[in-house]
Structure 1
Amino acid sequence: MSRRTALGFLVAGVVLLVLTATALNTAWRDDRTGTVAGGVTAAPAADPVIELIETSQERLTEVPGDWSAWAQLGSAYVEQARITADPTYYDKGEGALQESLALRPDDNDRALTGLGALANARHDFRRAADLAGRALELNPFGASAWGVLTDARHQLGDYAGATAALDRMLELQPGIASFTRASYNAELHGNRDDAAAALEQALAAARAPADEAFCRAYLGALAFSGGDLDGAERHFTAGLAEDPGEATLLLGQARVLAARGRDDAAVAAFRSVVAARPLPEHLVEFGEYLTALGREEEAQEQFALVETIRSLFEASGVQDHLGTALFAADHGDPATAVAAAEAEFAARQNIDAHDALGWALHSSGRDAEALEHARAATSLGGRNPLFLYHRGVIEAALGRTDQARATLTEALDTNPYFSPLHAPRAAQLLAHLGGRP
């Protein structure tokens, strides 16, 4: 599993998905005729984000000074970057959003909200919070801006502030974007029943196949994070029926197949994921699964791509110190791990940063310092099995045997399949410490 909670990998894109769906239903239509400006009848499209990009571009060909069209085009580009894992769309998105601001420097909360979502995508969470705040000063009723602020505050470790922003978003626009955020927030605090209920509300609100698939990905991830393979498989299968080839659903399916020991099918599914969305975390996860299978040469092929892909993202303004730290800590480079984790922690102090710094310090033999961060990473109440595994290893290294046994047991009770590489190690260490077989 990813370093994040089971739902965290999806949150950044939610606001843009909803902005896209809204724009497709409202952009530049003549209320009397139902046509797009210019007289062209709007036709259904297989890909709503591509349709929005094309429709926005057509509008700007006719009216280059339409600041609203530039804002919508920029937001669509940022969403396309998430979908395709092509970071060059971030640069295109920034250009379009800045053009919108240049055309309308005042009273342009749409562009500020889009730039805030872009900043979140680039992991510049303080800037995202600032931009969302500026947008809300102009339009306190902008639900999407409240969503951007919610995401930024979660990533900065301001959990009370995130909950407050989320509550306001829910008041203004109860729907897929707000319900999925509510689920994530509940899961972070260990309220799995509330998390599931929020996702069911999101699913009930879905009207388009892509929206249903989106909600199914969340529901499957939540089920898998609790070790419910049957429930996870049901949701991933239903989601793929609505949106075949969607990478997040394929990733969930690959995890279920791996947990069931269906190795050939799991490898094929992981290959589909990294082909469709070659994110560094996907390459690392696939490589670690291959390592667990003893296919080290193939694993190294995946790992060799990680830095290349990460460099492409960095060139488009995306920083991933967290991923660098965890990969280095797991693969024998403690100096790089500590440097990257400290850089991340200097920028934000949320549970992910605490976990990464604790694990990096452990990799360099600094377990007394590591334990403080490992405890902070598990302090919210959420039961992230990877975080618990990290803490249990650190406790064991410090000779805190009783604590380590309890922590490792909790990790495996939460999800015995949390990682094909680390879950077996957790079980082996627990047995070594005199825990259950």
Structure 2
Amino acid sequence: MKTGAAVRRPRISRRALIASVAGCAVLGGVLTLLPWERAGTGAPAPAPGAQALSAVTSGVPAALPDLAALIDDRESHLRAHPRDARAWAVLGSAFVEQGRRTADAGYYPRAEQALRTSLKVDARGNAEALGGLAALANARRDFRAARTWAEAARKAAPGRWTTYPLLIDAYTGLGDHKAAKGALDRLQELRSGPAVMARAAAVYRDNGWREDAAAALADAAAGARAPAERAAYLERAGQLAWERGDREDALRHFQEAVRVDPDQRAAQAGQGRVLAALGRTTEALNAYRVALARQPLPQYALELGELYETLGLRQAARVQYDLLRERVRTAASHGADEELVLGQFEADHGDARAAVRRLRAEWARQPGIAVADALGWALHRAGAHEEALRFAVTATDKTKEGGVRSALYMYHRGMIEKELKRHGSARRHLEEALRINPYFSPARARAARAALAQLGEPSLRKLPVMDAPDE
């Protein structure tokens, strides 16, 4: 049943709230506790584990301490009730979220074991476990498996709205933006509210509709109930502002996200990105270090390493690059795929031919737009410029699903075209990169300006002067 407009916040029934506080594992009841619904005046605040239970089962971000409490609660419950399939599904989903929030892929095998146990206990229409396995596959960047599990969950329970965000993520990772939009349409038929608005914003952004995405995220953040949820939407709003080159607005969003939820490490890394663009280098370095200390994502290590390089601190950069390689290896040992970021690193800082091999394999597995851009750039760096351009076009041409307005993607395409002496197109795309975000990368923005200076102004052909007609 739809909740209506996002601004409406229906009251939670006392029975549902009591069930949640008691740690009830029956997901059908918990799913009524939607993240934008608020308890009536005087109702007791839910316990931390109950808050995470509501968040995990309704597909919204949960606070790390609450997740830890939920995991402890479910493990204790399952020791006494090992045949509770839904409790196993909740535990597995909580492990997925814990691994995602901490960038610790070691949680993923534990998640998989719990979710498969749930299926073993109850294989008939167990949409909760199927959805959990889809979320796990998305977290591991195995989008084909995510699509398979999510479609199975949809078949088991077509009206279960929390399946559709999983489908959106899987389809997007596979570069199927038409299917992602179809999944969003169905999601919006089934449900409204902050979680749905945030998912809509992601689809809008991927289609180049940045104003619509920003408006949807603003509404999602305003309607979010829990701090962790609100902080996640603020971080995404900050990222949108950063992508359009609005440094001050991006920084405000990132700072507010960290204030609301100090464990919001993506916002901490976002601050590093923006502070570097503002020339506040010491603060930028500190922000990146804090983010990496609690969420050591390879992407953050790459960004920090490149920042060190722009400062001439090559040894410090190498430390970050070593961390990147270590995190990729650790992720792989737990079934997670970080080949994209490793390929991006190798293309610019290592072995470009090795990057091509890695990214070709990644493209074969999951041909998303980010992979198309990375593979195109790796091919260019390896000297295969004509083939590189084909992938760069895929990443930037709306007719080929490249609707994302990315300064980096435009920069890559422009530099490849410059190498191929397609000067008009190169000039146009390099200028577009700097229009989208003049600060997208300290080193690359400088390189784009230098390339434009080399290309010079477009030449104007002399048109023949026509004789004036006789009067």
2:440 to 418, 423, 426: 418
Q: Structure 1 residues 96-105 or 423-432, which shifts more?
A: 423-432
Matched, 1:35 2:22: yes
Amino acid at match of 2:383: G
Whether contact under 8 Å (1:28, 1:37) holds in the other structure is no
Deviation at 1:51?
2.2
Task: Give, as a single letter, the amino acid of the residue that structure 2 aligns with 1:280.
Answer: P
Pick from 365, 374, 381 the counterpart of residue 392 of structure 2: 374
Q: Which amino acid in 1 is paired with 2:278? A: R
Q: What amino acid sits opposite 1:88 in the alignment? A: G
Moved more, 197-206 or 168-177: 168-177
Q: 1: distance between equivalents of 2:373 and 2:381?
A: 12
Following the alignment from structure 2 to structure 1, what is the Cα–Cα distance between the partners of residues 231 and 349? 35
**Structure 1 residue 320 and structure 2 residue 338: aligned?**
yes
**Normalised by the size of structure 1, how large is the TM-score?**
0.89
> Following TM superposition, by how much is the alpha carbon of 1:152 offset from its aligned partner in structure 2, in angstroms?
0.5
CA distance in 2, matches of 1:26, 1:351: 46
Deviation sequence 1:187-234 (CA, Å, 0-9, x none): 111111111111122112201111111111011111111011111111
Q: Greater CA deviation, 346-355 or 386-395?
A: 346-355
Q: Is 2:91 aligned against 1:87?
A: no
Q: Go from structure 1 to structure 2 and tell me whether the alpha carbon gap of 1:310 and 1:435 turns closer, same or farther (over 3 Å shift).
A: farther
- How many matched pairs? 409
Distance 1:51 1:314 in 2: 28
CA contact (8 A) 2:48 2:70 kept: no
Aligned equivalent of 1:153: 171
1:50 is aligned to 2:68: yes
CA distance in 1, matches of 2:326, 2:430: 34
- Residue 409 in 1 paired to residue 437 in 2? no
1:386 has 2:408 as partner: yes
Asked if 1:71 is matched to 2:75, the reply is no
Q: 1:250, 1:270 within 8 Å by CA — same for their partners in 2?
A: yes
Specify the SS of the correspondent of 1:133: helix
Quote the offset at 1:134 in angstroms: 0.8
Question: In structure 1, what residue type is equivalent to 2:173?
Answer: Q
SS of equivalent residue, structure 2 residue 198: helix
- Would you say the 8 A contact 2:258–2:264 is kept in 1? yes
CA distance in 2, matches of 1:37, 1:341: 45
Selected match of 1:167 from 182, 185, 190: 185
Q: Tell me which of 123, 133, 152 is aligned to 1:105.
A: 123
Root-mean-square deviation (CA, aligned residues, Å) is 2.1
1:96 partnered with 2:114: yes
Q: In structure 1, how many angstroms separate the alpha carbons of the residues matched to 2:15 and 2:310?
A: 49
SS in structure 2 opposite 1:143? coil
**Counterparts of 1:83 and 1:27 in 2: how far apart (Å)?**
31
Aligned to 1:12: none
1:198-237 maps to which residues of 2 (within 5 A)? Answer: 198-237=216-255
What is the alpha-carbon distance in structure 1 between the residues aligned to residue 101 and residue 410 of structure 2? 30
What amino acid does structure 1 have at the position aligned with 2:431?
Answer: T
Partner Cα separation in structure 2 for residue 36 and residue 192 of structure 1:
40
Residue 434 (1) aligns with residue 438 (2): no
Kept in 2: contact 1:35–1:42 (CA 8 A)? no
- Gap runs ≥5 in structure 2: 1-12, 26-44, 50-62, 459-471
Q: Secondary structure at the match of 1:421?
A: helix
List per-residue Cα deviations over 1:296-326 (Å, max 9, x = no partner): 1111111111111111000011122222221
Partner of 1:20: none
**Relative to structure 2, which stretch is displaced further, 111-120 or 372-381?**
372-381
**CA 1:285 to 1:373, structure 2 compared with 1: closer, same or farther past 3 Å?**
same
User: What's the CA shift for 1:61?
Assistant: 2.5
Distance in 2 between residues matched to 1:26 and 1:275, nearest whole Å: 41
Q: What is the CA deviation profile of residues 14-63 of structure 1, one whole-angstrom value per residue up to 9, with x for unaligned ones?
A: xxxxxxxxxxx9999755x953469xx96346722122212212221232
Specify the alignment match of 2:197 in structure 1. 179
> CA contact under 8 A between 1:119 and 1:125: conserved in structure 2?
yes
Matches of 1:34 and 1:88 in 2, distance apart? 29
Counterpart in 2 of 1:298? Answer: 316
Counterpart CA distance in 2 for 1:213 and 1:308 is 29
Cα distance in 1 for residues equivalent to 2:71 and 2:290: 26
Aligned partner of 1:286 in structure 2 is 304
- Which letter maps to 1:163? K
Identity of counterpart residues, as a percentage? Answer: 42
Q: Answer whether contact 2:414 2:427 (CA < 8 A) is retained.
A: yes
Q: Is the 8 Å Cα contact of residues 71 and 94 (structure 2) preserved in structure 1? A: yes
